[in-house]
Amino acid sequence: MMIFFDIDGTLLDQRKAETVAAGHFLAMYGYLLGHRYTVEEFCVLWRRLRERHCRGFLEGKLSWAEQQRRRMRDLFSASERQLSDAEADARFLFYQRRYRDSWSLFGDVALGLSSLSGHRLGIVSNGNAEQQIAKLRQTGIENLFSIILISEHAGAAKPDPKIFLAACRRAGCSPGEAIHIGDHLDLDARPSQAVGMRAVWLDRARCGAAPDGIEVIHSLLQLAPWARSRSAA
């Protein structure tokens, strides 16, 4: 059985790293934002800006650097003149370094993945390939995955079915022989189900019941018995 994983929010505790980086960023630049944000408020705004501008990168319309600049200019638009490329780059680099320094796996990842030693493991992730692979390398799990497919190199981004089909082709399996596990219903579970993969929603927050045909787990520690039962089915 081929088992694919998402990265952010599934393996890597992105929000924890984001929160740490946000605290440093506010301490350095908060006085220039025109509003006294709490860390939690800033993270909500930062995610909104990421969703707004990163889509252009995922669709191939913007470079990685340009979407970063747009996010930073948008962030400071209410309080400052438009930032130059150099200014936007410097501020994003400040945030990025603190973000990278804070990358860590969820506590259930190491044991959850080690319990799948009899299966081939892969990655299907959106984002910048260099950064996403660096996350796997820095946290010590890159070598566990025989297939690593990032949207930047796939020519398609989740929820586009093409990226899931491309991952299966690389793995030499049909969608019906593959599982995809991710924390996002609309980016991971629903589109992988639509191409014929077994879709597993990792619902750590216990948000609710999964839609029909989508299986749900609340921790990667559930993977070993779950995978055994599905392999035997």
The confidence band for 231, taking pLDDT boundaries of 50, 70 and 90, is: low
Domain end, chosen from 68, 101, 134, is at 101
Domain end, chosen from 66, 101, 136, is at 101
pLDDT in tens, 167-201: 999 999 999 999 999 999 999 999 999 999 999 99
Task: Give the total number of structural domains in the chain.
Answer: 2
* 88 and 148 both lie in a single domain: no
pLDDT in tens, 66-89: 999 999 999 999 877 889 999 999
* 227 and 124 both lie in a single domain: yes
* 65 and 146 both lie in a single domain: no
* 86 and 109 both lie in a single domain: no
pLDDT at 57: 96
Q: At which residue do the structure tokens 């990792």 appear?
A: 202
Domain around 125: 2-13+104-232
Percent of the chain with pLDDT over 90: 87
Give me the chain's average pLDDT, please: 94
pLDDT at 213: 86
* 60 and 86 both lie in a single domain: yes
* 110 and 225 both lie in a single domain: yes
The confidence band for 209, taking pLDDT boundaries of 50, 70 and 90, is: confident
Question: Of the candidates 211, 171, 155, which has an alpha carbon nearest to the alpha carbon of residue 5?
Answer: 171
What does the alpha-carbon distance between residue 34 and residue 46 come to, in Å, rounded to a whole number? 15
Q: At 197, which CATH number? A: 3.40.50.1000
* 136 and 213 both lie in a single domain: yes
pLDDT in tens, 88-122: 999 999 999 999 999 999 999 999 999 998 899 99
* 18 and 42 both lie in a single domain: yes
Domain end, chosen from 37, 72, 101, is at 101
* 209 and 134 both lie in a single domain: yes
Average pLDDT of 8-19? 98
Strands laid side by side in the 147-150 sheet: 147-150, 120-125, 2-5, 178-182, 198-202, 215-217
Q: Which residues fall within 8 angstroms of residue 40, CB to CB, at 6 or more apart?
A: none
Max Cα distance, the chain (Å): 62
